[in-house]
Structure 1
Amino acid sequence: MPKFAANLSMMFNEWEFLDRFAAAADNGFAAVEFLFPYAHAPDEIARRLAASNLTQALFNLPPGDWDRGDRGMACQPERADEFRASVAQALPYASATGVRRLHLMSGHGDRRDAAALEAYKAAIRHACAAAAPLGIDILIEPINGRDMPGYFLNDFGFAAGLIAELDPPNLRLQYDIYHRQILHGDVMKSLEALMPVTGHVQVASVPRRHEPGTGELDDARIFRHLDELGYAGYVGCEYRPAAGTVAGLGWFRP
């Protein structure tokens, strides 16, 4: 079975955020991820990780004003300076936590807009250059339009083509099984095709985004396939527990 990372933005919400680290460790996780750490000091996040002997698998660059609808800003030319400042804000957290993968959210935009596309490419280049000295990969993730209408990066083929075109050594794909199934289907074959550029995998059941094994896909078979493909990274559990986090961990304790 792959190595799993509990997503603390969605799981263990029965605890306050800083207490979720210990809760995840107490329930068998050796790694965690989350959307954003920026409401807390870098050293505090690092202390919680160390206290529970956890690895930080992933978190996102600042998205802008999340509460007002921002889902990143990388594709928005007028926000280039704000984007660069967001990268600078994230790096102390990366250094403190030892994370090796940061997710760059594209923001809302139209891929047919040449200015938006060029802004997105420039943002990726900047983030990759800033992260490279720390040994950090920048990840881009296609997200389906049902969950996030108007999101700029909404196609796996386009994402793979962009990685090939830009070609920095630390640009990788964040392959979310849930988003892949909704956008395109064909999860097993696409994992084979995209594994060479994949830096992180996430999972949730389709269509309700609950625990693995509760939807239309055979998630256990997909996990075995990841092993067969030699995937050695973490699988982030980015799902919403259907009826309590701990009660829903049967899939994790075979």
Structure 2
Amino acid sequence: MPIAFSANLGFLFTEYALPDAVRAASRAGFKAVELHWPYATPAADLRAALNETGLPVLGLNTVRGDLDKGEFGLAALPGRETAARAAIDEAIAYARAIGAQNVHVMAGRAEGETAERTFADNLAYACTAADAHGIGILIEPLNARDVPGYFLTDIAHAARIIDRVGAPNLRIMADCYHMQIVGGDLLTRLTHHLPKIGHIQFAAVPDRTEPDHGEIDFSWLLKALADAGYDRPFGAEYKPCGRTEDGLGWLKAF
């Protein structure tokens, strides 16, 4: 069975307005899309493009917070619980409006047991709110080189948080780019945690551009993960070297 791919429209097709980026992803052969922060786009306009193309939305992110203060997510920040839960509510409402399957709750820059407890409490809130609408919640480990100080950097830590929260709709968004930088050994680690993984993303390492070069042989790895039981679209979350369409040779090759 052919592997399916999702276009992350936070990085791909950014020369278009978001509804037109959906249409461009469909024309290119992607079978799903995912979003970063789509909130400036009216949900009705985006939903119209999704209905037209038939592409599902795999997920979107909660807002990052106060960018002037360097915030990159809110859910693990002690003292920011009200803002974190407002961001969760906003993301779930937008996900409902466009039919998105998941919300990625961004942890933010924090450390320590108080941050861990805050993150777990906010995730429990998110899981309860999302479950009422059949929406999943995702958490994503990010590498500390790209996002210094981010609370969640390791997939094993993410798995422990999922066990702590104990919600059936809480899963890991595993990005091969971040995981390679943090510790490598991708097939072993990903297959070990596969029961807790809700989505897998990929990009070339170390430059995070088109995935047909660099440290990782994705044509091999993604097939191996599919053979291991991963049966959802893989998310292409990379920064194109030029126009997205000009760099899609990997899509047919893979």
Q: TM-score range by the shorter chain?
A: over 0.9
Aligned-partner SS, 1:117: helix
Tell me, yes or no, if structure 1 residue 133 matches structure 2 residue 132.
yes
One-letter amino acid of the structure 2 residue matched with residue 35 of structure 1: H
With over 3 angstroms needed to count, the CA separation of the structure-2 counterparts of 1:117 and 1:56, relative to structure 1, is same
Tell me, yes or no, if structure 1 residue 47 matches structure 2 residue 44.
no
Q: Report the equivalent of 1:94.
A: 95
**Alpha-carbon offset, residue 213 of structure 1:** 1.9
Q: Report the equivalent of 2:77.
A: 76
Aligned-partner SS, 2:195: helix
Tell me, yes or no, if structure 1 residue 222 matches structure 2 residue 216.
no
Asked if the contact 2:61–2:103 (Cα under 8 Å) also holds between the matched residues in 1, the reply is yes
* Cα deviation digits, residues 206-242 of structure 1 (max 9, x gap): 0000111211111111111121112112211100112
Tell me, yes or no, if structure 1 residue 246 matches structure 2 residue 231.
no
**Structure 1 runs not aligned, ≥5 long:** none
**Alpha-carbon offset, residue 67 of structure 1:** 5.9
After the TM superposition, which residues 154-233 of structure 1 pair with which residues of structure 2 at under 5 Å, given as runs? Answer: 154-233=153-232
One-letter amino acid of the structure 1 residue matched with residue 156 of structure 2: G
Asked if the contact 1:46–1:96 (Cα under 8 Å) also holds between the matched residues in 2, the reply is yes
**Alpha-carbon offset, residue 43 of structure 1:** 1.6
Distance 1:252 1:124 in 2: 34
Distance 1:154 1:20 in 2: 30
One-letter amino acid of the structure 2 residue matched with residue 195 of structure 1: L
Q: Report the equivalent of 2:28.
A: 27
Identity percentage of aligned residues: 39
Distance 1:202 1:32 in 2: 12
Deviates more, 1:199-208 or 1:89-98: 89-98
* Cα deviation digits, residues 152-188 of structure 1 (max 9, x gap): 1011111111112221111101111001100011001
Deviates more, 1:39-48 or 1:168-177: 39-48
**Alpha-carbon offset, residue 68 of structure 1:** 5.0
Distance 2:225 2:219 in 1: 10
Distance 2:167 2:17 in 1: 38
Tell me the C-alpha RMSD between the 2 structures: 1.3
Distance 1:61 1:234 in 2: 21
Greater RCO structure (CA 8 Å; 6+ sep): 1
**Structure 2 runs not aligned, ≥5 long:** none
Aligned-partner SS, 1:5: strand
Tell me, yes or no, if structure 1 residue 63 matches structure 2 residue 59.
no
Distance 2:149 2:230 in 1: 31
Asked if the contact 2:88–2:105 (Cα under 8 Å) also holds between the matched residues in 1, the reply is no
Distance 1:81 1:120 in 2: 13
Distance 1:56 1:100 in 2: 6
Distance 1:145 1:57 in 2: 25
Asked if the contact 1:2–1:226 (Cα under 8 Å) also holds between the matched residues in 2, the reply is no
Q: What is the TM-score normalised by the length of structure 2?
A: 0.95
Distance 1:226 1:67 in 2: 39
Distance 1:66 1:221 in 2: 38
**Alpha-carbon offset, residue 37 of structure 1:** 1.3
One-letter amino acid of the structure 1 residue matched with residue 42 of structure 2: A
